[in-house]
């Protein structure tokens, strides 16, 4: 089985998501993982496809065609799938705070400094319901090394959050 990662950026139009999923179906590829959204006025997508080598090659050709037709830009990379590491525990981190420039960098630096891998990161800004202040909501999935003391890590994380006036929690990923 071959794997292809593709990132797509272009003008937001009705039917873009359909065209991209149609490529996977018509080339007989499976969509392993997919995230599509509108950022600003632009459509963005990240897709992980799997299939036989000729199915992946067909998908690449079809992406070339749709890219020109719909004025999209893409970046593609063939990849291999690795097994989930057995020496880590999956955790979810949530941070809510008043928007501050560099806040996401501070949070990601905390985990990098702790030698903890971030596997997914999502954030969004919205106005607070009553005050209208800009609030950042950050969700991260991290892999905590199994030898790490969770209680000690949580304590360091809470102290970190307190030092920047952040509301943060870290909990085990459920449903594994």
Give the pLDDT band (50/70/90) at residue 122. Answer: very high
Give the pLDDT band (50/70/90) at residue 29. Answer: very high
Domain ranges of the chain: 2-79, 88-172
80 CA to centre of own chain:
18
What would the two tokens of residue 87 be? 């020496």
CATH of domain 88-172: 3.30.70.260
- Is the separation of the CB atoms in 26 and 62 below 8 Å? yes
Rounded to whole angstroms, how far apart are CA atoms 23 and 21? Answer: 5
- Is the separation of the CB atoms in 121 and 138 below 8 Å? yes
pLDDT (average), residues 131-144: 95
Q: Do domains 2-79 and 88-172 have the same CATH topology?
A: yes
CATH of domain 2-79: 3.30.70.260
Q: What is the pLDDT of residue 85?
A: 85
- Is the separation of the CB atoms in 131 and 83 below 8 Å? no
Give the pLDDT band (50/70/90) at residue 82. Answer: confident
pLDDT tens digit string along 148-165? 999 999 999 999 999 999
pTM of the model: 0.84
């Amino acid at each position: 089985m071959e794997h292809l990662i593709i990132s797509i950026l272009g003008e937001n139009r009705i039917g873009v998501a359909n065209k991209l999923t149609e490529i996977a179906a018509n080339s007989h590829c499976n969509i392993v993982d997919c995230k599509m959204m509108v950022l600003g006025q632009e459509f963005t997508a990240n897709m992980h496809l799997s299939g036989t080598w000729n199915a992946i090659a067909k998908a690449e050709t079809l992406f070339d065609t749709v890219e020109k037709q719909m004025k999209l830009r893409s970046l593609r990379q063939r990849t291999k799938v690795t097994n989930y590491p057995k020496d880590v525990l999956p955790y979810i981190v949530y941070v809510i705070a008043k928007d501050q420039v560099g806040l996401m960098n501070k949070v990601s630096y905390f985990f990098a400094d702790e030698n903890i891998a971030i596997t997914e990161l999502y954030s969004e800004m919205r106005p607070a319901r009553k005050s209208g202040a800009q609030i950042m909501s950050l969700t991260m999935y991290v892999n905590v090394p199994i030898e790490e003391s969770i209680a000690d890590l949580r304590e360091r994380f809470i102290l970190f959050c307190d030092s920047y006036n952040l509301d943060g929690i870290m909990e085990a990923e459920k449903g594994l």
